[in-house]
Chains A and B, each alone.
Chain A
Amino acid sequence: MAHSFARPRKSVTLTILMAGLVVYSLFPLWWLLMSATKPQELLSGSFGLLPAGEFALFANISEVLTHQDGIFVRWFGNTVVYVLAGAGGATLFAALGGYGLAKYRFRGRNAVFATVLGAVAVPGAALAVPTFLMFSELGLTNTMWSVILPTMVSPFGLYLMWVFASEAIPTELLEAARVDGAGEWRTFFTISLRLLAPGIVTVALFVIVATWNNYFLPLIMLSDKNLFPLAIGLASWNADATGVGATPVFHLVITGAVLTILPIVAVFLLLQRYWQSGLSAGGVKG
């Protein structure tokens, strides 16, 4: 704990003020949860913040999982693939690269720094259209790679890992390992990796969220429904409710949204301890 002096008195005013903010943050989610318990026809007719009609949550969930031959399950699987390969790759490359930049001096290091730092300021979405144009020339669009490859690059992750590695790994420790005759990569895996863990978890979580929620990139790249991640899949169900010959499935969109949010929130809560220490120790301190 950073400050351990006399515990300040609790403030009711402040608590009420913050409670307002908490309500603002949570009531849309409450609305979502309540809506997920309603059948399609009651969604618009009933008051949003209270349950109405029969309790249809489980019926809705089973319909989500079976609608259009269970494509939701497939989207879920795709999302997991994109997260494991894309976010996993991004985290790995950022950890290696950040470590390399922090702990070694080599020719061209400054150039790498400058390029990567410049890249942090380039909006990812501004890059998405050019990337799409290039990928379409290469015949990569509408493949899983078209989503995975761009996801694997996280200049900000690299930056974060660099800051973290500079702080968390004493250079003396590496020197000691070298004296013992350990190779650079072996040192990395046996000593540095463990010290980098909180930073890695932090970067991983932010890249995972970004990937889990990514909309623009897969929207551009993918046309085959079977390759969609959850975010695009839900949007396409939402679009099904609009148009000629529309089949409104808002109850599925809503229940599907709940099912999409749950895993990511769970991951966050479970790993809370790690990413918070990672954030405070390295990420934003500088």
Chain B
Amino acid sequence: MNDLKEEAPMSIKRNLTRSRRVAAAAAVTVLATTLAACGGGEPGSGEEPAEAASAEEIEAALEEGGTIDFWTWTPQAQKQIDAFEKAYPNMTVNLTDTQGAEDHNTALQNAISAGSGIPDVAQLEYQSVPQFQLPGQLTDLTAYGFGDHEALYTPSTWGAVSQNGGIWGLPQDSGPMALFYNADVFEEHDLVVPETWDEYVEQARKLKEADPDKAMINDDGNGAGGVTSMIWQAGGKPFQVDGDTVTVDLADEGTQKWAEMYQQFIDEELASDIPGWTDEWYQALADGTIASIVVGAWMPGVLESGAPDGSGKWRVAPMPTYDGTPVNAENGGSTEVVPEGSDDKLLAAGFLQWLNADPESIKVFMETGGFPATVAELESEEFLGFESEYFGGQKINEVLAGGAENVVEGWQYLPWQSYANSIFSDTVGQAYLDKTSLLDGLAAWQEENVRYGTEQGFTVNG
């Protein structure tokens, strides 16, 4: 658990900018003008409202055609584009596969600062939306009537794309959390599938006693994504963003609740520490060395491709809770957005709308392993009734979709979440390593975030 990371740790970093102004003076001037255009840098308020367009106008524009650039790392993207170009033969979508969130964000940031080579549509993780939206780098899609789509999506994903008074994209997928466990190991050692975290810890102790080579969970101390999701489930709201004022409180009630529970895994050495997402990790998942994992609903596809030998052994259960009342959190998930610098926002919005709202596109997405964010699909018989061979014929989507209904509302990420995640292992991760207090680690993470936020010009409470 908590091996969650947005992507490969040793990714090749992208360059900062394609071309910025040569003369520094010019750069400063341009920057000043840009800022002035965004209302003096006052976040969230300054985007020039996009020119309103009705659904008919968007449709007409797509029929007429044109070319747009699309940056994504979604494996299904090319198939979706093929379907789109078939539906609108005059449209051409240039796909740039950006490989993963981290590189993607850097490259996008650079293009935006450079003011050239900006894509018309780009994928963003939900947690990265604020860091682009606050400096006024995303188009508010309200004017294109995107508000009408609200009912299509689960409340938590809709909440992630509509904040600070605008609509910044349409959800692509979602990742309500669930407990994935190796039924063979559970059976062998007579373990019960835990419904609460207390039971979970109990089973972890039992397993450790029975077979010290196995561990109920794995944690390499580098899983910021997983930890924030767990804090989310525990009711914590450590990050609150209001314009340029940010509150960081990594010691709030929910965070403490999680830390207290999770500390047991650390103190009693109930977790193994295989580096997440590595080959060794996948093998451990396949052979039962790691007996369970709490992670987003997109995991089945990952297990199937990464740990094929685990086929037939794995099962899904609802995420354990603190008191038996079903509560859930999102883990991962992305949206598509239209950067302010797009030179054809109308077409961009049209493509985005088709991509994440058109049933045909969503069908293509799901056929190739995507976990949807749309209520209709999540509730469809076909989806819910799907019996996964890998999971021994279990109707996994019933469980996973069930989790989507109980996601705690009101969670926010930091405007600099990707940086915050990059220093997670330096701070919180040290608690795993040294078997020390998680709260101390969280305090160190807090301190770094407050420092960084302040340096970046935010008013930070914390």
Contacts and interface: CB of A to CB of B under 8 A. Distances in A.
Interface in B87-108: 100, 103, 107
A280 interface: no
Nearest to B299: A244
Given A138-B22, A223-B103, A238 B10 contact: yes
A118 interface: no
Contacts, number: 92
Contacts of A133: 16
A137 interface: yes
Nearest to A243: B8
B13 A220 contact: yes
Contacts of A137: 17, 19-22, 27
A44 B14 CA distance: 31
Contacts of A8: none
Interface residues of A, number: 29
B15 A132 contact: yes
A204 to B, nearest CB: 28
Contact of B277 (A139, A220, A235, A246): A246
Contacts of A221: 15
Interface in A194-236: 219-223, 232, 235-236
B277 A244 contact: yes
B18 A248 contact: no
A245 interface: yes
Chain B interface residue bracket vs A? 35 or more
Interface stretch (B300-308, B350-358, B399-407, B446-454): B300-308
A223 B103 CA distance: 9
A142 B305 CA distance: 32
Nearest to A245: B302
B5 A223 contact: no
Interface in A120-176: 132-133, 136-139, 141-142
A232 B17 contact: no
- Find the residue from B16, B21, B100, B305 having the highest chain A CB count within 10 A: B16
B242 interface: no
Contact of B10 (A222, A235, A247): A235
Contacts of A232: 12
B16 A141 contact: yes
B298 interface: yes
A47 to B, nearest CB: 17
B393 interface: no
A44 B15 contact: no
B278 interface: yes
Interface string B292-327: 000000100110011000000000000000000000
Contact of B110 (A136, A219, A244): A136
Given A136-B110, A243-B100, A219 B8 contact: no
A132 B280 CA distance: 35
A246 B16 CA distance: 26
B267 interface: no
- Find the residue from A138, A241, A242, A250 having the highest chain B CB count within 10 A: A242
B260 interface: no
B306 A223 contact: no
A240 B283 CA distance: 16
Contacts of B16: 132-133, 136, 141
Interface string A239-266: 1111111111010000000000000000
Given A223-B107, A246-B282, A139 B19 contact: yes
Interface string B153-169: 00000000000000000
B25 to A, nearest CB: 12
Contact of A141 (B8, B18, B103): B18
Nearest to B24: A137
B279 interface: yes
A102 B19 CA distance: 40
A136 B18 contact: yes
A239 B278 contact: no
Nearest to B113: A136
Contact of A44 (B17, B75, B279, B302): B279
Interface in A25-46: 44
A147 to B, nearest CB: 12
Contacts of B18: 136, 139, 141-142
A223 B282 contact: no
Contacts of B332: 244
B385 interface: no
Given A132-B16, A141-B17, A244-B277, 9 more contacts: A137-B22, A141-B15, A222-B15, A238-B10, A239-B9, A241-B278, A242-B277, A245-B306, A246-B8
Interface of A: 44, 132-133, 136-139, 141-142, 219-223, 232, 235-236, 238-248, 250
Leading 5 A-B pairs by shortest Cβ distance: A139-B19, A243-B8, A141-B15, A136-B17, A223-B14
17 contacts: A136-B15, A136-B110, A219-B12, A223-B14, A223-B107, A232-B12, A235-B10, A239-B12, A242-B9, A242-B10, A243-B7, A243-B8, A244-B298, A245-B75, A246-B8, A246-B302, A247-B305
